[in-house]
């Protein structure tokens, strides 16, 4: 996992990607990969006593995985001589605080009781009556190197990607890097930045029963516009983390998602926000009716996990 975030140093504050991942049937480079590498490049330019506490990024153009991305710290990520991505990253010396609160982690099944993506895709290959393009997707996805172990709390039947159902705009999934990482906190921050783009914007289309593989309700574009992360506490990205995602609004061709990441023992370690383009081709009558959902999480100033028990790096 850490190898795909490695960068080649070209000059002072100038770095080049060594590897870029383009997801199956995607338009360009995986957004989380660009975010993670941008954080790696910025981290290389600051003193080790500083830790990242926020990251704000904007995707300007689709990334091309056939040529490297150049990361010019304080300026732009470039490809083909044009800026494709900007990211403002802030670092802070860690400090103690007497003012601490957080949301309570949802009560969910443990990751060991949930099938992995690989197990789900393996079973899907034997299913009947699946479109050829979806079978191709499953085959290619199954062959991809498994960089992140993802366990969706609400198990998805692969057929739901062909015949999607309208669902509340909420997702919960466990995730962790598949390889053991070293103890440098910055590596874990960068890996989490990569992970947080997984299925995040998808949350905003769940109420609308659309899919890239549905002939009648086809999702034909879902692209990140911006991605923001606030880091709250240390953690290990190679230990299980719970990713809670929700979408309060979609409209005007855009979807908005918010997320929270918890350690297994309930410590809130990061908050995330993302907006992106979502467009669909739906057969039949117009589908612009408003889907109304209740708020996802109630604020509860209950027992807060002891931050001294945060990940021991």
Q: Which of 79, 197, 202, 257 is catalytic?
A: 197
Domain ranges within the chain, ordered by starting residue = 2-309
Q: What is the pLDDT of residue 101?
A: 92
pLDDT of residue 241: 98
- Euclidean distance between the first and final Cα of the chain, in Å? 17
CA dist., res. 172 & res. 156, Å (int): 11
The closest alpha carbon to 171, from 49, 31, 274, 281, belongs to 274
**Encoding tokens for residue 124?**
């899907």
What are the residue ranges in the chain where pLDDT is below 70? 1-2, 54, 75-77, 155-156, 284-313
Cα–Cα distance measured from residue 9 to residue 226, given in angstroms and rounded to the nearest whole number: 26
pLDDT at position 296: 52
Q: Which two tokens stand for residue 79?
A: 């490809």
- C-beta separation of 264 from 305 below 8 A: no
204 part of the active site? no
| Both structure tokens of 313 | 């790096």
Tokens 């057969």: give the residue. Answer: 283
Residue 301: its pLDDT value, please? Answer: 38
Q: Are 148 and 177 in contact (CB under 8 A)?
A: yes
Which helix H or strand E contains 173, and what residues bound it?
Answer: strand 170-177
Q: Supply the pLDDT for residue 144.
A: 75
The tokens for 270 are 């990061």
Q: What is the DSSP string of 281-305?
A: EE-SS---PPP----S------PPP
Query: What pLDDT score was predicted for residue 302?
Result: 39
Superfamily of domain 2-309: Acyl-CoA thioesterase, double hotdog domain (2.40.160.210)
Q: Which one from 41, 171, 211, 224 is the annotated catalytic residue?
A: 224
Please identify which of the residues 2, 41, 204, 274 carries the catalytic annotation: 274
Say what the alpha-carbon torsion angle 206, 208, 211, 214 is, to the nearest 10 degrees.
Answer: 140
Q: Is 274 a catalytic residue?
A: yes
Q: How far apart are CA 118 and CA 144, in angstroms?
A: 10
User: Which is nearest to 123 in space by CA: 136, 142, 140?
Assistant: 142
pLDDT of residue 188: 96
Decide: 271 and 230 in contact? Cβ < 8 Å: yes
> Is 224 a catalytic site residue?
yes
pLDDT at 311: 44
Q: 58: which 2 tokens?
A: 């904007």
d(CA 246, CA 301): 20
Extract the tokens encoding 274.
Answer: 């993302």
Rounded to two decimals, what is the model's pTM? 0.75
């Amino acid at each position: 996992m850490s190898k795909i975030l490695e960068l080649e140093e070209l000059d002072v504050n100038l770095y080049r990607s060594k590897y870029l991942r383009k997801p199956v049937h995607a338009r360009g480079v995986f957004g989380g990969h660009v975010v993670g590498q941008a954080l790696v490049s910025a981290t290389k330019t600051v003193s080790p006593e500083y830790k990242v506490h926020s990251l704000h990024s904007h995707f300007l153009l689709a990334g091309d995985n056939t040529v490297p991305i150049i990361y010019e710290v304080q300026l732009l990520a470039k490809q083909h001589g044009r800026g494709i991505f900007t990211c403002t990253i802030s670092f802070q010396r860690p400090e103690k605080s007497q003012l601490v609160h957080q949301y309570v982690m949802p009560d969910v099944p443990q990751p060991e009781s949930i099938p992995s993506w690989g197990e789900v895709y393996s079973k899907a290959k034997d299913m009947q009556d699946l479109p050829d393009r979806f079978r191709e997707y499953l085959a290619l996805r199954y062959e991809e190197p498994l960089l992140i172990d993802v366990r969706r709390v609400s198990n998805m039947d692969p057929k739901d990607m062909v015949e999607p159902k309208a669902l509340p705009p909420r997702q919960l999934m466990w995730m962790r890097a598949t390889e053991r990482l070293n103890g440098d906190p910055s590596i874990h921050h960068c890996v989490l930045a990569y992970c947080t783009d997984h299925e995040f914007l998808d949350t905003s289309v769940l109420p609308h029963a659309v899919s890239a593989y549905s002939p009648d309700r086809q999702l034909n574009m879902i692209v990140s516009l911006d991605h923001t992360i606030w880091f709250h506490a240390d953690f290990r990205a190679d230990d299980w983390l719970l990713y809670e995602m929700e979408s309060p609004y979609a409209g005007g061709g855009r979807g908005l998602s918010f997320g929270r990441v918890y350690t297994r023992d309930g410590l809130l370690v990061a908050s995330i926000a993302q907006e992106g383009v979502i467009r669909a081709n739906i057969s039949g009558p117009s589908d612009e009716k408003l889907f109304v959902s209740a708020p996802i999480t109630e604020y509860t100033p209950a027992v807060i996990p002891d931050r001294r028990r945060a990940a021991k790096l």
